[in-house]
Amino acid sequence: MKSDTADERSIPLIGDQFPDIEVETTHGEISLPEDCAGEWIVLFSHPGDFTPVCTSEFVAFEDRREEFEQRNANLIGLSVDRVHSHLKWVDWIDEEIGVDIGFPIIADESGRVGEQLGMIQSGAGTSTVRAVFVIDPEGVVRQVLYYPEEIGRNIDEILRSLDALQKSDNEGVATPANWPENERFGDRVLLPPPGTRDDVDAREAEADDDGYEQYDWWFTLSEQ
């Protein structure tokens, strides 16, 4: 059952419904998660415009934007800068690096949204940290990642996480470490552990089925 306590805590955590917010962006006003209903959202905050690591990240996200869109996912950035700063920064990236940022950037000048989402943390001053919220088509927070100011995000990992979440939702499985390139198990997935004695017996009976590799009833790999 999904938790509905995000408003009590302020900061939404995994399994919480993402709070309804109205925001100003470089693409105009949008309502989240309503305007992306039925689609995934990858919402990521950055400490500030016109900073080197953030610039490298925005270029990296834009370079991979089509891959996110192929996964039915919307990229949305955020910082405490004004929308005019975002627009000027996007122009600079286009003119100097040759990359046209095609996703919206939320202007959170007051810090209201950043505070509400836990993107402004005491040890990092008044700027937003490098947070990533992955929100599913039902508006539920499925993953939260935090990075310090000095470390740029790994876009491959965010895409891998999105793939794993969608795989799990679609097929009712879990993914092992480093999936889909696990050093020992390759791209195979894990079946959820049985919850009853009858389920254990059924799982053990499947031990010799094609496509399954069973180390034990609670640790079974599948080719699916």
CATH number at residue 44: 3.40.30.10
Note whether residue 160 is domain-resident: no
pLDDT at 122: 64
- Domain contains 22: yes
Considering the domain architecture, whether residues 136 and 186 belong to the same structural domain is answered as: no
Q: Is the pLDDT of residue 184 over 70?
A: yes
Return the active site residues.
Answer: 54
Residues 32 and 136 in one domain: yes
Q: How far apart are CA 170 and CA 26, in angstroms?
A: 33
Q: Let me know whether 95 and 200 are in one domain.
A: no
pTM: 0.91
**Per the domain annotation, does 207 fall within a domain?**
yes
Is the residue at 202 inside a domain?
yes
Is 122 within the bounds of a domain?
A: yes
Instruction: Say yes or no: 149 and 176 in one domain.
Output: no
CATH number, domain with residue 193: 3.30.1020.10
Residue range 24-35, pLDDT digits in tens: 999 999 999 999
The range of the structural domain enclosing residue 200 comes to 172-224
The reported pLDDT for the residue numbered 132 is 97
Judge whether residue 195 has pLDDT over 80: yes
More confident residue, 202 or 175: 175
Residue of 17, 25, 156 whose CA lies nearest to 101: 25
pLDDT, residue 2, reads 46
DSSP 8-state symbol, 168: H
Per-residue pLDDT tens for 161-173? 999 999 999 999 9
- The SS3 call for residue 188 is coil
Short-list 193, 188, 195, CA closest to 213: 188
Per-residue pLDDT, averaged over 51-77, amounts to 98
pLDDT at site 8: 44
Which residue, of 119, 153, 187, is where some domain finishes?
Answer: 153
Say if residue 4's pLDDT is above 70: no
pLDDT band at 86 (very low <50, low <70, confident <90, very high): very high
What pLDDT, on the 0 to 100 scale, is given for residue 125?
A: 56
| Percentage of the chain modeled with pLDDT above 70 | 92
In angstroms, the CA 82 to CA 79 distance is 8
- Candidate from 25-34, 112-121, 130-139, 181-190 with smallest mean pLDDT: 112-121
Which of 153, 181, 216 lies at the terminal end of a domain, its last residue?
A: 153
- Average pLDDT in the 172-201 region? 95
Please indicate, yes or no, whether residues 38 and 146 belong to a single structural domain of this protein. yes
Structure tokens at 171: 């097929």
Could you give the number of structural domains in the chain?
2
Taking every pair of Cα atoms in the chain, the longest distance, rounded to a whole number of angstroms, is 64
